[in-house]
Structure 1
Amino acid sequence: MKQYMKQYMELTNRYRESIIHHSQQLVRIKSVESEPLPGMPFGEGVNQALVYMLQLARELGFETANVDGYAGHADLGTGEEIVAVLVHLDVVPEGTGWEHPPYGGEIHDDKIYGRGIIDDKGPAVASLYAMKILADTGLPLQKKIRLIFGTDEESGWKDLEVYFKHYPRPKTGFSPDAEFPLIHGEKGIQIFDLKGRWNQDNADVVIEEIKGGNAPNMVPDSCCVKLAAAENLKSAMSESFLSFNRRTGFELSMEDLQEKVIITAPGVSAHGSTPEKGKNAISHMLLFLAECPGLSEGVSRLIGFYNQHIGLEVNGKAMGCGYEDDVSGKLVFNVGQVKGDQHEITWTVNTRYPITIEGEQVLKGMAPVLKRNNIELIMHEDVEPLYVPKEDELVQKLMQVYREATGDLTSEPFTIGGGTYARALDKGVAFGPLFPGQEELAHQKNEFMKVEDLLRMTSLYAAALASLAG
């Protein structure tokens, strides 16, 4: 393996400038899901990213396919069995507070900055060039390697649902969309709404609109509420606001626009699977509103529900679903979005539940709390957990490649709360791109990848594919 790794690294260096260039170009495409267009089910930006990668794959000599704009693939080899690499080209919204343009693909201090460079555009380019490196070596392949380009991973996986109606589901492979050395288990994922109705008739302070968050699987970095307030209550509101900021250090801002008052709560974005790494602007806002004078009894009741059963907690314990197991740890509970008007409020929640329990158990755990507070739950998705034993051949082969390529003999496979395309396979794992000890910046501001890490993972993926298919 060491002999081959040297060759893979030499070939990676040959393509160094191309790998960097195409990673930058891909980041410059704002592939956030938008309104569908003919032949572009997830919007123009997402489709542009798909077309870009398929064109690049053809230029590198691979056969490609485009499934009606939902997904595509590039093939190497002709074997009947398929080893799949599943990447995605869509990204979550950029949020705020970037030091460098989120869609600039700029290099500073040998780091490529931009939304998606880690999740999952850099790994997508690295995987494609890993295939090119294998093609250049002329290594005889016993299995076909298929790089699948998804376009709806951050939203609802409708891309793969359509794609697998046209092409067979590969039995094995990996997704370069997590961490090294290897992820052999992923928690179950749910996305659902919690909806409550409130009566604001005759209230001195009326919530006209509340909104916050960019996506269910992101910790919201901003939440804003528009209030209609009686003039005689504004002084009391201002005192409550200043007292809250002094006591909590949350740094909310207030703007008085005559008949309206606008309050904004800042937060710190993070991936929805690790909400403890962020600061939830929605929770900060609701904590303040609990102290705001003049709100109706119905509004205060729902705000009280939130603060008592969710608040700053991230494991669902107060909601009745604080489950955990020895394999994957505690359940994760992230409120990613909120929207509301004069009549109702809706929170969109993303849970990551332990591998050894079922999604239905989470719902049963929450049911008593929701019933007592007259909260409606509307389920959008429930994706079962993924688990491949450490002893499995797929895990063993990839771990051998990683250890021989990096010299890291101590790191072990582990489980995560994040969800990757690996669970779309009969047997899949997540393999990279973050190396041990590196900061997780996916879904956060100032997302970046070191140039040398991009190149290092390219040669590592070439070795991995050779082991699985050669």
Structure 2
Amino acid sequence: MELNKKIDEMKEELIKATQEVIKIKSIEEEGKPGMPFGEGVAKALDKALEISKSLGFKTYKEEEGYYGYVEYGEGEDYVAVLGHMDVVPEGDNWIHPPYGAEIHDDKMFGRGTLDDKGPIMAALFGLKAIKELNMPLSKKVRIIFGTNEETGSGEMHIYNKKEKAPVAGFTPDAMYPVINAEKGIRRFHVVKPLKPCNCGLAIKSIKGGIRPNMVPDKCEVVIATKDGESIVNAVKEFAAKTGYNMNAEIVNGDVVVKSFGVSAHGSMPELGKNAVMYAMEFLGTIAKGTCGLADYINFFNKNVGSETEGTSLGIACEDKPSGKLSLNVGVADFNEEVADLWIDMRYPVTMKGDEIMNKLSERFAECGAKIERIDADEPLYYPEDGELVKTLLKVYNEQTGEEAKAYGIGGGTYAKELPNIVGFGPIFPGKPDLDHQANEYIEIGDLIMNAKIYAHTLYELAK
């Protein structure tokens, strides 16, 4: 257990390094020369490489700034840890500054503490412990700092063109014990052209959500009407009846309706409360005409409603390795000319994504909507009896004293972007999954435990 002792000795250094990267707001912005995903992401990458260099590692930064990595050891083959320095927007309702990296009650708060800056720092210090102890390796170890996981993983397309694939590895972008199955993902826009409405109720806009892979926690509807007070009262009655958090007021002659939900990761929409769905359900109570938008709202409520498994759309399915299909209406962007929904759908590893998309296209065509701009991630599946999964489980069980088994999730970890790796931590069983949520934090004890598990795992894979 010399590795664990060494990591305990580096505890304060690991905490400080993690705070340094958390304090950098690294959401995607407009690209600049050498900063393809904006200045904040570039600063976070540079800080990670600066910390790595201060620990005595050889570092590399891709010439256009798409990614960087640390390398240690010798040999043709390498074992990889793939983490990302970009984060989703912080959103509202934080009790501590989202980029403060403040520690309260042995918890470090901040966007990226769990997803993914804290865990990748833990892996870096795990490798540092191996280096300090001069433990013999037969393969190189490479810790890769990605920059675009949250909005497309464009940097990994560059990486895979330029770099050799690892022989084994993991991404600390999921949960423990081992994620060996990840659902396929389709992200797509459902677009319906609209004509002027003559039913006496003109919905000027519906806007909610930030990303398709986040359950929207806010939605705003602007309605032009001659009887604003009746709509304000209708919202109050609807909110009282349903228990939804909604309000309305008259602003410059229009009625502004606001609905509020609870955000959650798009892979588990059932854990959130979808503010767009709340707004559409309310609008269905007042959109009684036969115009294109009213028809579409009613179609949505009948075929999607508040469902997260696609039952009424006819696409619900499940399998043993990865579970049920999930559907998240992540962004609504309606105006008087077009209705645009941005949807995140995740399907079981044994199902065919194209067949499901064909069913969806046929269903939405019934109301004159089309599916456009599809982003596709294929499913990932590594058998439980394979060497990679067995090795990771062995280390996890030895370090935790558990008898855990691999399992499948809703997909979307970084493991899909690089061959021969799976999701491995950082969230322990029973601990809250705060990815993409307000008040994201990592317990200091879990940060240190991650470093220990990752140190032993890297040694086992590369020894």
TM-score of the two chains, using structure 1 as the length reference:
0.96
2:423 aligned with 1:430, yes or no?
yes
Higher mean C-alpha deviation, range 200-209 or range 441-450: 200-209
Distance 1:372 1:26, change over 3 A: same
Matched, 1:207 2:210: no
Paired residue type of 1:441: L
Within the candidate set 437, 440, 453, 1:444 is matched to 437
Q: Which residue of 2 aligns with 1:3?
A: none
1:354 aligns with 2:362: no
Distance, in Å, in 2 between the alignment partners of 1:97 and 1:128 is 31
Displacement of 1:213 after TM fit? Answer: 0.7
Q: CA deviation at 1:54?
A: 0.9
Match of 2:32 in 1: 37
What does 1:391-402 align with in structure 2 at a 5 Å threshold? 391-402=385-396
Contact 2:153 2:417 survives alignment (8 Å): no
Matched, 1:14 2:14: no
**Structure 1 equivalent of residue 151 of structure 2:** 155
- Aligned residues: percent identity? 41
- 1:200·1:342 contact (CA, 8 Å) conserved in 2? yes
1:453 aligns with 2:446: yes
Count, aligned residues: 462
Aligned 1:175-254 pairs, distance under 5 A? 175-230=171-226, 233-254=227-248
User: How far apart in 1 are the matches of 2:17 and 2:261?
Assistant: 33
What amino acid maps onto 1:427 in structure 2? Answer: N
Shift of 1:164: 2.0
Quote the Cα distance in structure 2 between the aligned partners of 1:420 and 1:251: 32
Counterpart of 2:329 in structure 1: which amino acid? V
Secondary structure class of the residue paired with 2:116:
helix
Runs of at least 5 residues in structure 1 that lack an aligned partner in the other structure: 1-5
Alignment partners' CA distance in 1, 2:287 and 2:416: 48
Q: State whether structure 2 residue 315 is matched by structure 1 residue 289.
A: no
Counterpart residue type for residue 50 of structure 1: L
In the alignment, the residues of structure 2 paired with residue 445 and residue 268 of structure 1 have an alpha-carbon distance, to the nearest angstrom, of: 10
Deviation at 1:235, TM superposition (A): 2.6
- Summarize the alignment of residues 277-426 of structure 1 with structure 2, pairs less than 5 Å apart: 277-292=271-286, 297-409=291-403, 411-426=404-419
Judging changes above 3 Å, is the alpha-carbon distance between structure 1 residues 295 and 444 closer, same or farther for their aligned structure 2 residues?
farther
Shift of 1:429: 1.0
* Unmatched tracts of structure 2, length 5 or more: none
CA distance in 2, matches of 1:455, 1:277: 28
The residue matched to 2:309 in structure 1 has which SS?
Answer: coil
Residue 286 of structure 2 aligns to a residue whose secondary structure is coil
Aligned to 2:100: 104
Q: CA RMSD in A?
A: 1.3
C-alpha distance in 1 between matches for 2:34 and 2:97: 29
Aligned residue runs from structure 1 range 60-139, under 5 A:
60-67=55-62, 68-139=64-135
Residue 47 of structure 2 corresponds to 52
Deviation string for 1:269-315 (max 9, x for gaps)?
00101111110000001111112357662111111121111111001
| Distance across 2 between alignment mates of 1:331 and 1:379 | 20
Q: Report if the CA contact (8 A) 2:379-2:411 is conserved.
A: no
2:231–2:255 CA contact under 8 A, matched in 1: no
Assess if the C-alpha contact under 8 Å between 2:106 and 2:444 holds in 1.
yes
**Counterpart of 1:241 in structure 2: which amino acid?**
V
The answer to whether the Cα contact below 8 Å between 2:361 and 2:371 also exists between their aligned partners in 1 is no
Letter in 2 for 1:443: H
The whole-number CA distance in structure 1 between the counterparts of 2:318 and 2:369 is 25
Measured in 2, the distance between the counterparts of 1:321 and 1:95 equals 31
What CA distance in whole angstroms lies between the structure 2 residues aligned with 1:59 and 1:25?
13
